[in-house]
Amino acid sequence: MAETKSPEKGPKTEENQNGLDATREKIDSIDEQITNLLAQRMHLARQTRAEKQAQGKSVEDAGREKKVLEHVEAVAKREGLDGAIALRVFEEIMAASRSRQIMDHAPTHTSELAPKTIAFQGERGAYSEEALSAAWPDAQPVPCKEFADVFAAVRQGRTDAGLVPIENSTEGSINWTYDLLLNSQLTIAGEKFLRVRHYLLAKKGTKIEAGLKIYSHPQALAQCRDFLHEKGLQALQYYDTAGAARDLAAEKIPEGAAAIASRKAAEHYGLQVLAEGIEDNRNNYTRFILISKTAPIPQADFKTSIVFSTQHKPGALFRVLKAFADAQINLTKLESRPTKSTPWEYYFYLDFEGSAVHAPGKAVLEKIKPDTLMLKVLGCYPKAR
C-alpha cells in the first residue's frame, strides 16, 4: 500500500495568518476612519441644531432626510454595494444625529419665575387665557394664532413665557404640543389645571334647532359630542374657540350660526348664551403647561417630564418602567408618539413625581440610560395644586 503524504501546513498557514492579520489591520484602520467621520457628523448635527433654532425651524426635516437617503442609495449602487444595506446604516446614523440634536437642552434656572408677558394660543377669551389669568394674574396675555406661534414668541424673546394645553381629561393628549416640545429647547416651567365649561354662543335672536351650524376648535367640538348629536347640530371645525366667537360677532361666519366657547368670550364679544355647561363630561379638565427659556430651581417635591426612545432590545421599555417602580416613584403620565422618521418607532413621554436632580429621580434617570437611545428632560417644575 502506497504511503500518502500529509499536506504541508506550516509555511502556508503562517502565510495565511500574516495575510489575515494584514486584512484585519486594514479593517481596523477603516473602522477608525468611520468612527472619526461619525464623530464629525455628530458635531455638525449639533451645529445644525443651533442654526435651525436660530431660524425657528424644527429638528425633524423629512424632505432633507429623504434627499440624503436617496443620495446614499445612488452612491452605494455606483460603488457596487447593496443599496438596502447602506440605507439601513444611514437611517441609524441619522436617527442618532436627530437624537443628539434633541438632547441638547440646558435651560437657565431662577429662584423666582414671574413672567411679565405670556403668549397663548387663541383670541381674547380663549380657555388658555382663562387658565393664564388664574395662575399668573399679573402677567400680560399675548394672543397667538397657532401653538407653533406660542413657541416662537418665547424662543424669539417676544414674550417671557407661553401657555399651551397638553392634555384634556375627556379627549386625551394634545399631540401637536408634544411634537413641539420634542423639537424645542424651551423647558416646561409650570402647569395649571382648568375646569373647562363650554357655552353655546350666538347673536341675539338665534335659536337652537336641528341643522344649526356650530363653529369651534376640534377639541371643544369633541368634548360636546353628545350634546351636538342630541340636538341635531352640525359641527364645523375652527382654529380657535374664542376666534369662532369673535368672528361670529364680527359677521365673518355666516349668519344664523353659533359657536362653542367660554363665558368670558361671550362677554368679550357681546354674544348671547344659548346653553351652558354643554360639555359631555362634568369633570372636564384641561392641563396647561408653562414653557420658558428659564426654569425654577428644582425642588425635591417637583414634577418632572421626560421624553425617551428605547434600545431595540427585548424588554427595554419594561426595564425603564421597572426602574421607576423599584425606586417607588409614581408615574402620572405615559404617552407614546411616532418618531415620524422611521415607521413603527416611537418616542415615549413620561411624567413622574419628583425632581430630575434629586434622589431617587436622578438615580433612576442614570439607571435607564443603557436602555434608551435618546433621553431628554423636558422640564422639572412645581406640581399644580
The catalytic residue positions are 286, 288
Q: Label the pairing between strands 161-168 and 285-292.
A: antiparallel
Query: Which residues have CB under 8 Å from 306's CB, separation 6+?
Result: 349, 350, 351, 352, 356, 365, 375, 376, 377, 378
Report the alpha-carbon distance of residue 112 to residue 99 in Å, rounded.
31
In sequence order, which ranges of 62-146 are alpha helices (DSSP H)? 62-78, 83-103, 127-135
C-alpha grid cell, residue 276? 351652558
Determine the 3-state secondary structure of 252 from DSSP. coil
List Cβ neighbours of 275 (8 Å cut-off, separation of 6 or more).
Answer: 199, 200, 208, 227
Per-residue b or e along 8-41, where b marks 16 or more CB atoms closer than 10 Å to that residue's CB? eeeeeeeeeeeeeeeeeeeeeeeeeeeeeeeeee
What is the C-alpha to C-alpha distance for residues 90 and 76, in angstroms, rounded to an integer? 11
Distance CA 43, CA 30 (A): 20
Q: Cis peptide before 360, with omega less than 30 degrees from 0?
A: yes
Residue appearing with cell numbers 500500500: 1
Cβ neighbours for 354, distance < 8 A, ≥ 6 positions apart: 300, 301, 302, 303, 304, 329, 360, 361
* Rounded Cα–Cα distance for residues 156 and 158 (Å): 6
Going by their DSSP bridges, the two strands 285-292 and 187-195 should be labelled as antiparallel
C-alpha cell at 106: 440646558
Residue type, 335: E
Grid coordinates belonging to 223: 368634548
Q: CA 23: distance to chain centroid?
A: 47
C-alpha cell at 72: 446614499
